[in-house]
């Protein structure tokens, strides 16, 4: 038995077109939603990347500033090290006040000093058999501008002591005191000789007698003039 279709062909075509349009609309809506979601996701990702770039830019600026400060600090440290090396080269490494205090402690009241001289000597070059002597006043030359500096280096200090004593025995006692002191070594008496000096009999009233026209009497005193050399015991021989 054959079925009879009462629906016209134009109706069926219209229904098929409507279904196709509906399917296309749904597909377009899905694509639009997907594109919208992708747009928001991309915008969020771009904003995060921009924020990261800004943070990196700030970090880079801070790093450059820190690097510049570090370079300046390194330069200052290098300059200070050069100054320290120069100071170490020209530093005498002696306590003059302490040496003079020790010497004044050892000097008896019967001794009067006229000269105390410090002389810087380079250590003897055993291979060449030479010993360079440099005055303590001119220990080193510092570097000025681009000129090379020449320093003395390691030195030992020779002390020359000159003066007068009441008697030669006082000179001998002073030499013994220097030898026993831990401040000095290699004590050598250079000379000791008798000498006469004149002294006024009334030194307290001298100005008064001179104003009154009163002549003053003088007497000759015999003293012992001496000169002693020694070295400051602030080094070790090896």
Last residue of a domain, one of 90, 108, 132: 90
C-alpha radius of gyration, the chain, whole number = 51
pLDDT at 8: 72
Is there a domain that residue 238 lies in? no
Give how far Cα 13 sits from Cα of 7, 19, 22, 24, Å: 11, 10, 14, 16
Q: Can you tell me the distance from the alpha carbon of 160 to that of 177, in angstroms, rounded to the nearest whole number?
A: 15
Is there a domain that residue 167 lies in? yes
Q: Are residue 61 and residue 131 in the same domain, yes or no?
A: no
Q: Are residue 154 and residue 187 in the same domain, yes or no?
A: yes
Q: Residue 195: which domain range?
A: 96-232
Q: Tell me the CB-side half-sphere exposure of residue 175, using CA atoms within 13 A.
A: 18
* DSSP letter, residue 79: H
pLDDT at 6: 65
The side-by-side arrangement of strands in the sheet containing 184-200 is 133-135, 111-122, 155-165, 218-232, 184-200
Is there a domain that residue 169 lies in? yes
pLDDT of the chain along its 238 residues, tens only?
A: 566 666 677 777 887 888 888 888 899 999 999 999 999 898 888 888 888 888 888 888 888 889 999 999 999 999 999 888 877 766 666 777 888 888 888 888 888 888 888 888 876 644 445 444 444 433 333 343 444 444 455 678 888 999 999 888 888 999 999 999 988 898 999 988 888 777 666 555 555 555 555 555 667 778 889 999 999 887 776 6
Is there a domain that residue 205 lies in? yes
Alpha helices in the chain (DSSP H): 9-90, 96-106, 168-180, 206-212
Q: Are residue 102 and residue 213 in the same domain, yes or no?
A: yes
**Whole-structure pTM value:** 0.49
Q: Are residue 190 and residue 123 in the same domain, yes or no?
A: yes
Q: What is the CATH number of the domain that holds 204?
A: 3.30.70
Q: Which residues of 109-148 are buried (b: 16+ CB within 10 A; e: fewer)?
A: ebbeeeeeebbbbeeeeeeeeeeeeeebeebbeeeeeeee
Sequence-distant (≥ 6) Cβ neighbours of residue 170 within 8 angstroms: 108, 110, 111, 224
pLDDT at 131: 47
Q: Are residue 112 and residue 142 in the same domain, yes or no?
A: yes
Q: Are residue 109 and residue 52 in the same domain, yes or no?
A: no
Each as own residue / partner, the long-range contacts of residues 174-180 (CB below 8 Å, 24 or more positions apart, any chain) are 174/106, 174/107, 174/108, 174/111, 174/226, 174/228, 175/228, 177/106, 178/106, 178/228, 178/230
What would the pLDDT profile of 21-31 be if each residue is shown by its tens digit? 888 889 999 99
pLDDT at 12: 73
Q: Can you tell me the distance from the alpha carbon of 213 to that of 207, in angstroms, rounded to the nearest whole number?
A: 10
Q: How many domains does the chain have?
A: 2
Q: Are residue 116 and residue 48 in the same domain, yes or no?
A: no
Last residue of a domain, one of 65, 90, 115: 90
Picking from 207, 204, 201, the residue whose alpha carbon sits closest to that of residue 221 is 201
* Residues 130, 135, 138: CA angle, nearest 5 degrees: 120
pLDDT at 176: 92
Q: Are residue 86 and residue 104 in the same domain, yes or no?
A: no
């Amino acid at each position: 038995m054959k079925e009879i279709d009462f629906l016209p062909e134009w109706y069926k075509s219209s229904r098929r077109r409507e279904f196709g349009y509906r399917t296309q609309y749904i597909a377009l809506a899905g694509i639009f939603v997907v594109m919208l979601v992708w747009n928001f996701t991309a915008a969020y990702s771009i904003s995060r990347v921009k924020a990261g770039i800004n943070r990196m830019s700030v970090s880079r600026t801070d790093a450059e500033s820190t690097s510049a400060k570090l370079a300046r600090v390194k330069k200052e440290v290098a300059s200070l090290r050069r100054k320290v090396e120069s100071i170490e080269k020209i530093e005498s490494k002696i306590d003059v006040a302490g040496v003079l205090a020790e010497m004044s402690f050892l000097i008896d009241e019967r001794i009067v000093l006229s000269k105390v001289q410090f002389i810087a000597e380079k250590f003897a070059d055993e291979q060449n058999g030479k010993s360079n002597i440099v005055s303590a006043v001119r220990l080193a030359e510092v570097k000025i501008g681009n000129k090379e500096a020449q320093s003395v280096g390691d030195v030992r200090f020779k002390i020359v002591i000159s003066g007068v004593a009441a008697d030669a025995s006082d000179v001998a006692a002073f030499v013994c005191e220097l030898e026993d002191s831990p401040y000095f070594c290699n004590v050598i008496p250079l000379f000791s000789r008798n000498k006469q000096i004149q002294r006024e009999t009334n030194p307290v009233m001298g100005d008064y007698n001179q104003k009154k026209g009163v002549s003053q009497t003088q007497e000759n005193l015999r003293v012992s003039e001496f000169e002693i050399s020694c070295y400051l015991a602030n080094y070790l021989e090896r």
